[in-house]
Copies of this chain bind each other. A is one copy, B any other.
Amino acid sequence: MTPERCFLAAALCIAALALSAAAAAGQAPGRHISPQRLQAGLERLSDFGRNPEGGVTRLGFSRTELEAREYVLNLMREAGLAVRIDAAGNIFGGRPGSAKLPVLLFGSHIDSVPQGGNFDGPLGSLGAIEVMRALNDAHVVTRHPLEAVVWTNEEGSHFGISVLGSGVAAGVLGPEILDRRDEDGSTVADWLKRYGQDPARLTEARIPRGAVAAIVELHIEQGPNLFESRIPIGVVQGIVALKRWRCVATGVANHAGTTPMNRRRDALAAAARDLLAVRDVVRSETGRQVGTVGYIKAEPGAANVIPGKTEFTVELRDLAAEKVERMWSQIQERIGVIDKEEGVGTQCALTDQVAPALGDPRLQRAIHDAAGSAGLATMDLPSGAIHDAGEISRLAPMGMIFVPSRDGISHAPREYTSWNDCANGVEVLYRTVLRLDTELDPP
A residues with a Cβ closer than 8 A to B are 221-225, 240, 242, 244, 252-263, 266, 268-269, 271-273, 275-276, 279, 282-283, 288-298, 300-307, 313, 315, 317, 351-352, 383-386, 408-412
Q: In the bound complex, do residue A258 and residue B221 qualify as a contact, i.e. CB atoms below 8 Å apart?
A: yes
What are 8 A-B residue pairs whose CB atoms fall within 8 Å in the complex?
A224-B259, A253-B412, A254-B411, A255-B384, A256-B292, A258-B385, A261-B290, A295-B302
Measured CB to CB, the nearest residue on chain B to A316 is: B256
Given contacts A295-B302, A304-B315, contact A279 B258 (CB under 8 A): no
Select one of B224, B303, B410 contacting A295, CB under 8 A: B303
Q: Contacts A275-B268, A275-B272, A295-B303 given: A242-B257 contact, CB under 8 Å?
A: yes
The 4 closest A-B pairs by CB, nearest first: A257-B384, A223-B258, A272-B272, A256-B292
For A352, the closest partner residue in chain B by CB is: B303
Query: Does B272 contact A294, Cβ atoms closer than 8 Å?
Result: no
A315 CB contacts on chain B under 8 angstroms: 256, 303-304
Also in contact, A272 and B276, with CB within 8 A (given A263-B408, A290-B260, A385-B257):
yes
For A276, give the chain B residue with the smallest CB separation. Answer: B272
| CB-CB nearest in chain B for A301 | B295
A294 to chain B, nearest CB (A): 5
Determine the chain B residues whose CB is within 8 A of the CB of A282 once the complex forms.
261
Q: With the chains together, A277 CA to B300 CA distance in Å?
A: 22
Does B384 lie within 8 Å of A258, measured CB to CB?
Answer: yes
Q: Is the CB of A258 within 8 A of B303?
A: no
CB distance from A15 to the nearest CB of B (A): 41
Can you name the residue of chain B whose Cβ is closest to the Cβ of A242?
Answer: B257
- The residues of B that contact A224 with a CB separation of less than 8 Å are 259-260, 263
In the complex, the answer to whether B294 meets A258 with C-beta atoms within 8 Å is no
Q: Is the CB of B292 within 8 A of A260?
A: no
Tell whether, in the assembled complex, residue A283 and residue B306 are in contact, meaning their CB atoms are under 8 Å apart.
Answer: no
- The docked-state distance in angstroms from the alpha carbon of A276 to that of B272 is 7
Partner of A293, one of B268, B290, B409: B268
In the complex, what's the smallest C-beta–C-beta distance from A58 to chain B, in angstroms?
Answer: 17
A240 adjacent to B257 (CB under 8 Å): yes
Whether A257 and B295, one on each chain, are in contact in the complex, defined by CB atoms closer than 8 angstroms, is no
Which of B255, B268, B303, B317 is in CB contact (< 8 Å) with A411?
Answer: B255
Which residues of the other chain, B, contact A300 by a CB distance below 8 angstroms?
Answer: 294
Assess the A279–B269 pair: CB atoms within 8 A.
yes
Whether A304 contacts B290 by the Cβ 8 Å rule is no
A256 touching B290 in the complex, CB below 8 Å, given contacts A276-B273, A279-B261: yes
**Residues in B neighbouring A273, C-beta threshold 8 A:** 272, 276
Q: Which residue of B lies closest to A258 (CB)?
A: B223
Residues of B within 8 A of A412 (CB): 253-254
A301–B290 contact, CB under 8 A? no
Q: Which residues of B contact A259 (CB under 8 A)?
A: 223-224, 290, 384, 408
Chain B residues within an 8 Å CB radius of A225: 260
Report the minimum CB–CB distance from A307 to chain B (whole Å): 6
Which residues of the partner chain B approach A411 to less than 8 Å between Cβ atoms?
Answer: 253-255, 305
A221 to chain B, nearest CB (A): 7
Residues of chain B within 8 A (CB-CB) of A296 are: 268, 296-298, 301
Assess whether A410 is in contact with B223, with CB atoms less than 8 Å apart: no
